[in-house]
Amino acid sequence: MLDREAIESRVSEIRRRRSFLEDYVGEPFEEFTEDISHYEAALRHIQIAVQACLDVARHIISVKRFGHPKEMRESFSVLAKQGILSEGLAERLTHAASVRNILVHSYIDIDPHIIHKIIQEDLPDLERFVDEIGEYLKKEGEVSEDV
């Protein structure tokens, strides 16, 4: 059985980090990168939000025995194959997981333009993930209506 508390805490964290990132939507690139602490905070919020999505995906895959993705980022494709996530969302989140890997492992190679674009264009994917996971869990009778 899925760990309701673990999923709900990560969903809460995804929403919390998305809320912080919303503060940067509409901000011109120059302003966004001008204040290093401001920029670094955004990087961390993206990293944690995507990690929380990965944690939820991997938990579902493990408990439901959907296989063993070779790489973490493949978790979203596994959920799409199971009909839990839409294909388009899974592809975009796979890209987000690749960015997360760069933030964690290759932080010197970060392109601030990509980070700015993610904030300006891709934040709705975080809520879509929560919604699609929530729909699946409700169908399965696994969690409350809050997810």
Q: Which domains does the chain have, with CATH numbers?
A: 4-140 (1.20.120.580)
Average pLDDT, the chain: 93
Element (H, E) at 40: helix 36-64
- Residue-wise pLDDT tens digits, 58-88: 999 999 999 999 999 999 999 999 999 999 9
CA distance 99 to 97: 5
- Residue-wise pLDDT tens digits, 10-28: 999 999 999 999 999 999 9
> By the 8 A CB rule, do 94 and 81 touch?
no
